[in-house]
Amino acid sequence: MNRCVYLPKDIMVITGKSDRYGRYLIKRIKEYFNKEQHQVVTVEEFCQYMGLQLDSVVSQLR
């Protein structure tokens, strides 16, 4: 089963950047989508924010 929620570690794998950058990016995505602090960021939201293809991102995390 694949996860539909992104964590800083997932962003580290995709971008090659640090854990801190992953946390920063999740915060920015939540602000962009007007989410509350307790709400999560989905793979689709991450891809839309970063301008990436969903299929390529999902295949990279497998």
pLDDT at 1: 44
Give the domain range for residue 47.
8-60
* 48 located within any domain: yes
User: Per-residue confidence of the chain (62 residues) as pLDDT tens digits?
Assistant: 466 788 888 888 888 999 999 999 999 999 999 999 999 999 899 999 999 998 888 887 77
* 1 located within any domain: no
* 3 located within any domain: no
Q: How many domains does the chain have?
A: 1
The phi and psi torsions of 3 (rounded to 5 degrees) equal -80, 150
Torsion sign over Cα 17, 20, 26, 32: negative
* 51 located within any domain: yes
* 13 located within any domain: yes
Whole-model pTM? 0.85
